[in-house]
Chains A and B, each alone.
Chain A
Amino acid sequence: MTTTTKPATPVTATRGRRPGAGALALRQGRLEITQFLRSRESVVFTMGFPIIMILIFASIFDGTIGGGVKFTQYFITGMIATGLMTVSFQNLGIWIPIERDRGVLKRYRGTPMPKWVWFAGKVIMVVAIGIAETALLLAVAVALFDLDLPGTAAKWFTFGWVAVLGVTACTLCGIAISSLARTARSGSAVVTPVALVLQFISGVFFVFTDLPTWMQQVAALFPLKWMCQGLRSVFLPESFGAQEPGGSFELGRVAVVLALWCVIGVVLCLTTFRWTTKRDG
């Protein structure tokens, strides 16, 4: 052993082999996706759940909701919205506390990795899994239940921005709510009831306008109802807008509410996010 000092090599930016910021984020995203796909629980419950639900619902309600429009056209919107919420809000709200409890987050904080790279990795994972899951859901619905896909570019565009805004809001809220869980195991206890209640009151399992008015009003405070409503404008004929609570699909309001939730989510994340557990001081 030596006590003589030997200056360690100074680290300069120029000799770095470290990947650039964008590449770091992509690597992080790839790692997150790998972890997700290798976790059987994640794949079955997060990706499988909406598909199982559409199989059940479309088999039970194989009639029409009037005007020759199949029930599937209605339920697919709830299933897509639920799927997007599951992959973002529930997935993150359950897994981040586990990673925090295990010290995975603490370990990342001890490296020179920029903080945002970790968040970017989660977002990339959510987006990739969300797209895959939605595509799978649509494929199953088209193949087995004669779902009619949107026929115009405008509808696909609406589909796109509703999904992006909705996933963004749910991702941010999922990261924010992860800080409520004190231990690894409490993540799902915190998140699951919230998600389940929102699914029931937001028109995922029932036709929204069949719900009691007060329930509709509570649901209107949260993103899921607006995601469903935006998606209904994509999968249902224009004329069905008249049956919505607001008398139309209210796409402007959908955008505003979802954007507002994105802002709330960012604020909550910035103020409450913890890299370590409480007992870590």
Chain B
Amino acid sequence: MADTAVGVHLASEQIAFDDKPQSFGRQAWKRFRSHKLAIVGVFLFLFLVLAFWIGPRVSSYEFDEINIVDRAQGPSGKHWFGTDDLGRDLFVRAMRGGQYSITISVVTGLMAAALGGIFGALAGYFGRVLDTGVSFMINCLLTINSLAILLVLGVKFQMTPMVIASLIAVLTWTRGARVVRALVLQFKEREFVLAARAAGASNLRIIWSHLLPNVAGALLVEATLLAGTAIILESTLSFLGLGVLPPETTLGTLISEAKGAIDTNPARVLIPGGLVTLIVLAVNFVGDGLRDALDPTHELEL
């Protein structure tokens, strides 16, 4: 049996590798690509973005161009989506509204994710007083009705799209924070974090290069789903008359303005309503795909 003696150097060992290093991102992208609805969501979202930003240039009308003669018309070759009570072209207004709705949702998602990520990571990592404080804040924000707060603030402030996005973000970051806090609590006890500490790594380094990369996926999913929530919240606000200032418009404002015309011209409600639905669907499809692609349990796959 002496001939079975093998040195410890197994450099010759065949390791069956694919062509490229399989980073988590690359694997996640592979999984995302195979998620059909997610791809539908991406294309739908891109299509809506293109439509909202290019549409107004194709049309010969301006979003605030009043044309009393053509007022309150249904869809036609001249005005594709019809006109409102002031004769403004509803196609251009719907596209303009879509721009704001999408901007607000994306900005809200990013801001809420940033806030949630920072507070969640700090609370989870440092624990103790900081955790108690952040958890208290989270619980407070979860118990209050964000719509009611928004309504009160809406009366108080000038509602520009940025203000709306910020307010929604401030009221909804807790979801991401809870996810991040839970994951950080779990990951900070992992042995690779201990190994970094044993090598003398600073807290900042541990959070930045060990914890955040491991929670980023979950946070991205939360941000995406939040973006969907933000569109609906914004529409609700606008519908209640607390949206952006006229003559600017969002999809919610368009629905609100069309309230009275629901019997005579249902398309005025259905079109912006349908667009809101499409955006939310697209965003949620992408969110679902991301969740499947970034699910950390995939790491342990054979």
A and B from one complex: no
B residues near A, CB below 8 A?
Answer: none
Taking Cβ atoms with an 8 Å cutoff, the residues of A that contact B are none
